[in-house]
Structure 1
Amino acid sequence: MPPVIALSQRLNPIERDIAEQRRRSIALSEVFEPFMALGAQDTAPTHSISVLEGLDRINAALDLATAQCQTEMLTVQPSGSVRSAENRLLEALERDKPLIERGVRIRTLYQHTARYNPERLAYVDQFANGKVEYRTIDELVERLIICDEAVAFIPIREDRQVALELRHPGLVRYLVKVFEFMWGRAVPLSAGAPYETASDGITGIQHSIAKLLVEGHVDEAIARRLGMNVRTCRAHIAKLASALGSGSRAQLGFLIAQSGILEKEH
């Protein structure tokens, strides 16, 4: 058999298969065409969850979101180290000032310890005449920023080098509800000090520490969650132990539970 004929016989079945696969691909494309628009909507940026790595990228995304914010910004700002807190205050000042000048409302939650931070109070004083509200609460877990109930930012690493930008409406609405829950239990910064001594001789901060001690948290974790340094936290623990007559850390946990102080409203 001549080679040309042999080659033709070999190629014909392959070419028929290729033609058949091409017809099937065209048919599948026609079937799926009405649904492609729906798929594009589902993956649109308004429904996205983006991972932001590095402070430069995080700050760029925050700058863009605040520049587009028109109605309200909600923020949760836990205390950190003195140096990092000063840096964040400067960043916040640069972002908040244009927002306030545009008439955007800002609500910010701090920990109670912010009431005794001169830098934080000086920052707050700069916006006393704007549409800004500040409240404090005993314990905050992490930072949160929400713009116009449309986009939210949360850190996902303790060093704050990685964050999530959330534009999924369901997730953002959920975070707004979390913020409102904390806001309703917080104390306006203009109100009296929340750490006054109660009738049982134990201050509000010591009640918060007692709660975290019973939950099993170590001193460093308690200090971080309440926005104070470890030395201050241990001083409060010592005062709490003295008030309850405790001679050891193990006994302190027992006496806290036995005293019933965690069952009282403060």
Structure 2
Amino acid sequence: MSVLGLSGAEEDVYRYFLRNPRTPAHDIHGMFPFGEGGATQAISRLRDLRLLHGDDESTWATEPGVAVPRLMEKQLAAMHRTIRQLTNPWPILRSLQRDRQDPLPELSETADGAGVTFRRLEDPREVRAHIDELAFSAQEEVLAAEPYDTLPQENITHRRPVDVRCLRRGVRIRNLVRTTALEDAATLAHLRELHANGAQIRVANELSHQMLVYDSHTALLPIDVHDTARGALLIEESTLVGGVVSLFERLWAAATDFATLTAPGAGRITRLSETQQRVLTCMCTVSKDEVGAQRAGMSLRTYRRHIADLLCALDAGNRAQAALTARERGWV
């Protein structure tokens, strides 16, 4: 399984728990030539990859039909990220330019070669176009602070594929939202889906600064904080962008983790996203994955990936246990 990104030790441990589900994790210590330290390290990474579940007293492996496509997608995303880096030399050029003893004016990606550091985007369509372009070319991280109480369905529909595409390419997303956003069912469902796809989300009681930052290089700020429809300022000046990032980090450090606030028993509504609910219903009523995927309106691989995520969310070792737990929680 090395082509899928697993080391020999990780493959040995994964295969062991396929053959011996629901066994204690420490049972494998001393069973393999890589020793206790190597076994512990392999278990830790397999858990990070969501290929092992449970705890130290009862550990089981993700079924191969889910694990292999998941690893393939991760490897393909890494390859795509490498290709994107090779076809976008600007970060390397900027880094080399900063090291010049007698630096030239900062390079620009604009056609006329002008060193643009500020730009007013007063047309909302132009703002959205720049957001799409910046998200598409992001290499490392997107920071977003969004002081909304509800997110319109139009925005959710537009943002979902953009954000998920970034996450699947391995771009890290950190999102700050207001506590009041969790009171809106549609907004909460969107945040749950974003979080399920890998985004890090934190919640702040007081949040008034709206900002977007891409790769710590480009920032978008509203021209008027009280009326975002007036447009945005696109900033590429390193000192100013650095200040925006510092503000975001302070707000992030003071915020509360989204998963903690929305966990069962945390005092807030626990609700699946619309997609998760559809998959869960199909899983509980349809015996064949091919039929379930067709009813859910998605590919077989995506359907099985959602099922694997649901098993994790329900802390279930198999689909029958997941269905029982879901019924106990009133999800189906």
Task: Give the TM-score band, short-chain normalised.
Answer: 0.5 to 0.7
Change (3 A) 1:178 1:135: same
Q: How high is the TM-score relative to the length of structure 2?
A: 0.43
**Which of the residues 192, 196, 218 maps onto 1:151?**
218
Q: How high is the TM-score relative to the length of structure 1?
A: 0.53
Change (3 A) 1:183 1:46: farther
Amino acid at match of 1:116: E
Structure 1, 179-188 or 92-101: larger mean CA deviation: 92-101
Q: Cα distance, 1:45 vs. partner?
A: 6.0
Q: Cα distance, 1:70 vs. partner?
A: 1.1
The higher radius of gyration belongs to 1
Gaps of 5+ in 2: 1-102, 267-332
Q: Which has the higher contact order (CA 8 A, sep 6+)?
A: 1
Amino acid at match of 1:154: L
Q: Cα distance, 1:120 vs. partner?
A: 1.6
Which residue in the other structure is 1:242 paired with?
A: none
Q: Cα distance, 1:110 vs. partner?
A: 0.5
What CA deviation, in whole Å up to 9, does each residue of 1:186-240 have, x standing for no partner? 00111247xx9xxxxxxxxxxxxxxxxxxxxxxxxxxxxxxxxxxxxxxxxxxxx
**Which of the residues 204, 210, 226 maps onto 1:137?**
204
Instruction: Assess if the C-alpha contact under 8 Å between 2:105 and 2:115 holds in 1.
Output: no
Q: Work out the CA distance in 2 between the residues paired with 1:159 and 1:170.
A: 24
SS in 2 for 1:139: coil
> Are 1:162 and 2:162 counterparts?
no
Q: Cα distance, 1:154 vs. partner?
A: 0.7
Which residue in the other structure is 1:89 paired with?
A: 156
Q: Cα distance, 1:127 vs. partner?
A: 3.0
SS in 2 for 1:98: helix
Q: Work out the CA distance in 2 between the residues paired with 1:94 and 1:46.
A: 32
SS in 2 for 1:160: helix
Identical positions, percent: 24
How many residue pairs get matched? 157
Which residue in the other structure is 2:144 paired with?
A: 75
1:1-266 matches, cutoff 5 A: 38=104, 48-80=117-149, 82=150, 85-157=152-224, 158-192=227-261
What CA deviation, in whole Å up to 9, does each residue of 1:85-108 have, x standing for no partner? 333222321320210111111010
Instruction: Assess if the C-alpha contact under 8 Å between 1:79 and 1:85 holds in 2.
Output: no
Q: Work out the CA distance in 1 between the residues paired with 2:198 and 2:205.
A: 24
Instruction: Assess if the C-alpha contact under 8 Å between 2:147 and 2:208 holds in 1.
Output: yes
SS in 2 for 1:126: helix
Supply the RMSD in Å over aligned alpha carbons.
Answer: 2.7
Q: Work out the CA distance in 2 between the residues paired with 1:168 and 1:137.
A: 28
Q: Work out the CA distance in 1 between the residues paired with 2:114 and 2:171.
A: 24
Q: Cα distance, 1:40 vs. partner?
A: 6.8
SS in 2 for 1:74: strand
SS in 1 for 2:148: coil
